[in-house]
Amino acid sequence: MALQKEGPVGGEGPTSFSFDAESEAEIPQILAKYPPGKQASAVLPLLYLVQRQMARASGSAWVPRVAMDEIARRLGLAPIRVYEVATFYLMFNTRPVGKYHLQVCTTTPCWLRGSEEVVKACREATGIKDWKETSADGLFTMTEVECLGACVNAPVLQVNDDYYEDMDAERVKALIETLKRGGELPRPGSMAGRQASAPEGGPNTLTSLSFEKAR
C-alpha cells in the first residue's frame, strides 16, 4: 500500500535530539499562540519545526523518534500523543528522505491529466524503482500522495514545500536535471504559464476593470 504511513524509526535513528538556537527562538512564539493549558495543540507546529531543523542540519527533512520524545517533554504530553500525530499526517516524514522529496499526486484529477507520465518520468530521471525509495545519490525520495488540493492545475508534483503544476514528462525531467545540477529552479506553480489557476491561455472572467467604470 503506497499511501500507508510507517511508524517512527526505532534503532536506526539518532539517539538524542535537542532544538538548535534557531528553533529555540521560534518555540516561545509558537506556544504563545495557544491559550494557557492548551499548549498540546502546538504538536503540529513543533513537528514542522523539527523537520525544518533536520533539513538544515542533515539535508533530510524528517522527524526522528527522539525528537518526538523531546516535543512530548516540552509540552508535558505522553510520547504516544506525539507519535500518533506524526504517524497520521503524510507531511511528516518518520523516516529519512532525500534532499528533494518528490511527492507525486496520483488521485483521480491528476491521474486523468497524466500523473502516470509524471511518475514514470520521475523514476527514469532519478533511477528510483518504487515508492518511498531514495535514489542512489541520496538526492531524491519518491512518495505517492493523495490530492494536494491543486487539482485545477493537475497533474501536480510537490518538491519539498513547493508545488509544480501542469507537469508532463518533459517538464519533470527538466526540473529533476536542474535539481541534480543545483541550478536555479523555476518559480513554483503552473509550468504551463497559467496565471495562478486561470484557464490555459489566460483568464476569461473579470477581464475588464468594469468595477472601476461602475464607480
Give the integer Cα–Cα distance in Å for 189 and 163.
Answer: 6
Residue 179 sits in the site that holds ligand FES (CB under 6 A): no
Minimum gap (Å) between residue 47 Cβ and ligand FES: 23
Please, what is the Cα angle at 62 between 64 and 75, to 5 degrees? 55
The site string for ligand FES over 129-168 (x = CB under 6 A, - otherwise) reads: ------------------xxxxx--x-x------------
Residue 31 sits in the site that holds ligand FES (CB under 6 A): no
φ/ψ (deg, to 5) at 189: 120, -155
Minimum gap (Å) between residue 193 Cβ and ligand FES: 19
> Does 122 belong to an annotated binding site?
no
Cell of 132: 518511498
Q: 3-state SS string over 51-104?
A: HHHHHHHHCCCCCCHHHHHHHHHHHCCCHHHHHHHHCCCCCCCCCCCCCEEEEE
Residue 128 sits in the site that holds ligand FES (CB under 6 A): no
Residues 91-120 that bind ligand FES (CB under 6 A): 105, 107, 109-110
State yes or no: cis peptide before 109, omega within 30 of 0: no
Residue numbering of the annotated binding site: 105, 110, 147, 151
Binding site for ligand FES (CB under 6 A): 105, 107, 109-110, 147-151, 154, 156
